[in-house]
Amino acid sequence: MYLIIDVGNTRVKAAVYEQGSLEELVVFKKSKIISELKKIIKKNNISSSIISSVASISIEKKKKITDLLDPIFVSSATKVPFINKYKTPKTLGVDRIALASAAVQQFPKQNVLVIDAGTCITYEFVNREREYLGGAISPGVQMRYNALHTFTAKLPLLSSETVEDAIGVDTNTSIHSGVVNGVCREIDGVIQQYKEKYQDLTVVLTGGDTYFLAKQLKSVIFAHPNFVLEGLHTILNYNLAND
């Protein structure tokens, strides 16, 4: 069994894979990472593991994790199944590395655009030659709501809601229209930009806002909320095979 760990800013996703299939997924607070990992290890026969962290982990916790699992800690130096053409490869986030890895593994010999709709919205492009060329980063849905509240005097702080009409009839519906329609039109527009250059484009939508956005987008996409975990699983297999 393999243990795949994705550490976010506040939450951790830990997935147990057996023979290539996701058997168990546990989500917990980052502060409980050691105790929760101990529970998973006690319950499962873990042979190999990998960890990706977009947020910092203290030296003390990192040592405890190493003592528990001796995992691969994903970094820019980790072996990956794609050719990294990013001009500053050392600055490429580990989550973006995982997404590119999932893209080349699940959609071989295809031009793939992966859109991760989480805290930020990231766009990752891998061509049919397994070359990662880069992408884009923009504010996520909730970040846009937060910005409207934080940087104005009177606008309220709202959470995302499905927009039924582009015309907001009061302050709240105007905010929802601006944020949600803005994000959807951005994503549709970026997809169209890529399709103008790569007509055979495959598009994957992942991240915490996957299902919220998928039903509101005009573009045809594959919705896969756990694509980062799939990518980490791919990286682990790739490193085990190439040791």
Catalytic residue among 67, 70, 95, 209: 95
pLDDT at 220 over 90: no
Mean pLDDT along residues 173-188: 96
Q: Which residues are annotated as a binding site for substrate?
A: 86, 93-96, 171
pLDDT of amino acid 192: 96
pLDDT at 219 over 90: no
- Looking at the chain, the whole-number percentage of residues with pLDDT higher than 90 is 88
- Nearest-angstrom CA–CA distance, 176 and 43: 44
- Nearest-angstrom CA–CA distance, 209 and 221: 14
Does the predicted model carry a pTM greater than 0.85? yes
Whole-Å CA distances, 193 to 124, 135, 146? 13, 12, 28
In a 3-state reduction of DSSP, which class is residue 11?
strand
For 116-129, what is each residue's pLDDT tens digit? 999 999 999 999 99
Token pair in block for residue 1:
């069994």
Cα angle: 188, vertex 189, 193; to 5 degrees? 120
Q: Which residues are annotated as a binding site for K(+)?
A: 116
- The DSSP element (H or E) to which 125 belongs, if any, is strand 120-126
For 27-78, what is each residue's pLDDT tens digit? 999 999 999 999 999 999 999 999 999 877 889 999 999 999 999 999 999 9
